[in-house]
Amino acid sequence: MCDVPPHIHDHNYWRRKPSRSESSSNTNRMETDLRLESSLWVGSKRYRAVLTGWHFNWTEVDKKNRDKKTISVPVAEVVGVEEGRVEILPQKSVEDKDKDFTVFYVKRSSSGGSSGLLWRLGRTQFSCPSRVLRDQWTKHLRTALKTHSPLRPHRLLVFINPFGGKKKGRKIYHSLVAPLFELAGISSHVIVTERANQARDHLLKKDLTGFDGVVCVGGDGMFSEMLHGLIGRTQQEAGLCENDPAVTLQPCPLHIGIIPAGSTDCVCYATVGVIDPVTSALHIVIGDSQPLDVCSVHHASTLVRYSVSLVGYGFYGDVLAESEKHRWMGPLRYDYSGTMVYLSNRSYAGIVQYLPADPLLSSPRDKTRCLSGCSVCSRSTERLFPHAADSGSLYSSNLSQFSSDSEGEWVSVEGRFRCVSLTCMSSSCPRSPLGLSPSAHLADGTGDLILVWDTHPLGFLKFLYRHTSTQDQFDLPFVEVHRVKAVRFSVPSGKEEEAYEEIVGQSGGIEEEERGYVETVSRSGSQQHLAERDTGRQMTNEQKTANPFLCGLCCSKSPSVSVWNCDGEILPFTEILCRIHGQLVRLYARGIEDGTAAQHCSEERDKCERRCILHK
C-alpha cells in the first residue's frame, strides 16, 4: 500500500448542508443533510469520498484533480463497516491497520439464464491520513446504516433441513450465510430439523419473543412448514378461527427468509429471480421486505392447507400422485410421471365457480410483469391497508378483505377440464422462466385461475410446451385465464359418492402424517393442535388394498376424479374453496429486479431513494 501524501489533509472536511425544509422532522433532516466528505485512498489511487443522506460515493481523482469514475452505493445496501483491512469470504481474516477501514456492500451481476440479478458481497478497503478521520468515517457510516435500515433484523430463528435437495443445507448455511450474518451483527438461533413438520410445530408452540424473523434453509417444503406455523400462530394469538373461510386473517408480524437448498425452490425463484444462497442471504441482511399473498384452501368449513404457488387439479395433481410412486428415481420422477400422465390423455368433469377481481386494476393478459417496486402491488397495499400510513404499521390494520361477496358476482362454468390451476404468483422456475401465469402479481390480493378445457392431445402438448418458451400459453382456444379473489370447485351432481370412494382409495398413497394433519384440523379448528395429532391411526383394509391412482396406460377404467396438488402436497378432498388473502406474510426479498437496477440513475443523487448501484 502506498503512503498517504501529506497534502491529502487539505481535502478533509465535514459539514452540514443547508436544510431543504425547516419544518421537516429531525429524522428527515438527518437523512438529507448529513454530509461527510474527504479524500481517501484505495490502493495507490486517490478518491473523493462523500457520504450524503442516501448514498456513499467515491470518485477517482487524477493527478490534475479531475474526476474520473464514480462508484455510488445506497446506504441501505451497505452490509457492514469494519476497522482495518478485512476479508469475510471464503474465510474471515483481519489485518489491523489503524488508518484503514473496509466497507462491505451489495454488488450486482447478471445471472445468466435466470430472470433476476445475482447479488455478491462487494468490498472496498479505504486508507485515511489519520486514525481520527478513520474513526469519523466508521462512526458516521454506522449511524447512517441505523437511520436508513429500520427493518434490518438483529435476531433470527433459523431452521435447517439437513435432508433437502442435495443434503447440503448445513454446509450452505455455515460456509456462505453465517459469515454474512456475523458481519451484519445479526445473532441467530439455529435449529437443525430432525423430522417433518418440526419447524411448523416449533413456530406454533414455542416462545418467539425477541426474534425479528425466521429463516428456512431448505426448499419449498420447508417454507410451507414455516408458512403454516407462522400463520397459525398469528391467528391463534389474535383469537381468529382459521376454519372460517370468510374470516379476515391477521398478517404475520415476523418476516420469512428463504435460503434455497431444496429439490424445488419455486418461491425463492419467483420472489428473488435467482436460486442463489448468497443473494438470498444479502436480502435478509439489509432487511428487504416483500409482501406476499396467500391462498387458503378449505373443505366443508375446515382449513386444509395454505398455498402461495400452485393449487392444481387434473394434470398437475395426477403428475404429483404418480411421482409419489417413483420417489426412488429422484428428480427424474417428475419428467417420467409427466410423460406417463400426458400419455394417459385424461380429462375430468367439474364445476368451477370464481369471484372475479376488479378488471380495471389489472389483468392476467396485460403483458406486465411483477418486478421489484411493482406499481400494481403498491396500489394494492393502499387498497388493502388504507390506514396503515396513519398507524405506522401494516399489521395494525385488520380490514375485512372478504367481508362481503357483494363486491362482485360469482361466475360458474361446468365441463371437462385437462387441468384447473390457481396461482398467487407467476410460479416461474428455471425450467419455466415466465411461469404458469407470467403477469401474476405477488401482492395484489388476487390469484390467477387457469382453465384448460378438454382438447386434442397435441393441443395440450402445445400448451405445456409454451411454458418453456416466451410464447403466450393463454393464446389457445381451449385455455381461459381469469384474475380472481376466490374459487370453488365441485364435481357434477351424482358423482359425489364415486369421487369420495376414489379419494379414499388414493389416500393409501398419502403419508400417515398427512392424514393425521387433515383429521386434526377438522377436529380442533386450529393449527395449534397439529402437534398433538393422533399419529396412531392405522390404514383401513380398503386403503391398504386400493389400486394406485394411476393404473398405467392399460387401465380399463380411467378414474372419474383427480387429486389436488397444493404446493407439492396431495389434498385428500376434491371439493374445495380457495380464497386469496392479500399480503398475509412478508419475505426478506424485494421481487425480481430487472437489468436496469444496475444501470445509471436518472435522479439527482441526493434525492434518489431507489436502491440502485450507480456507475459513472
Active site (catalytic) residues: 220
Confidence at residue 25, expressed as pLDDT on a 0 to 100 scale: 45
List Cβ neighbours of 468 (8 Å cut-off, separation of 6 or more).
Answer: 431, 432
Contact at 8 Å (CB) between 543 and 504? yes
Are 434 and 440 spatial neighbours (Cβ–Cβ below 8 Å)? Answer: no
The pLDDT value recorded for residue 388 is 52
**How many percent of the chain have pLDDT more than 70?**
76
Backbone angles phi, psi at 460, to 5 degrees: -65, -35
Core vs surface per residue 468-490: b (16+ CB within 10 A) or e: eeeeebbebebbbbbbbbbbbbb
For 374-416, the DSSP string reads: -HHHHHHHHHH-TTHHHHT-GGG----TTS-GGGS--EEEEEE
Question: How would you classify the pairing of strands 614-615 and 67-74?
Answer: antiparallel
Helix (H, G, I), strand (E, B) or coil at 27: helix
Torsion of CA 291, 292, 297, 301, to 10 degrees: 10
**Which range, of 23-37, 405-419, 428-442, averages the lowest pLDDT?**
23-37
pTM score, whole prediction: 0.83
Other beta carbons within 10 angstroms of residue 85's beta carbon come to 18
pLDDT grade for 445, boundaries at 50, 70 and 90: very high
- Residue 462 pLDDT > 50: yes
Q: Give CA torsion, residues 493, 495, 501, 507, to 10 deg.
A: -90
Q: Mean pLDDT of all residues in the chain?
A: 82
Cα three-residue angle 323-427-398, rounded to 5 degrees? 115
Over 90: is that where the pLDDT of 5 sits? no
Cα(32)–Cα(22) distance, integer angstroms:
12
pLDDT exceeds cutoff 50 at 75: yes
Q: pLDDT band at 544, cuts 50/70/90?
A: very low
Going along the chain from its start, the domains and CATH numbers come out as: 6-150+596-615 (2.30.29.30), 153-285 (3.40.50.10330), 294-379+407-508+556-580 (2.60.200.40)
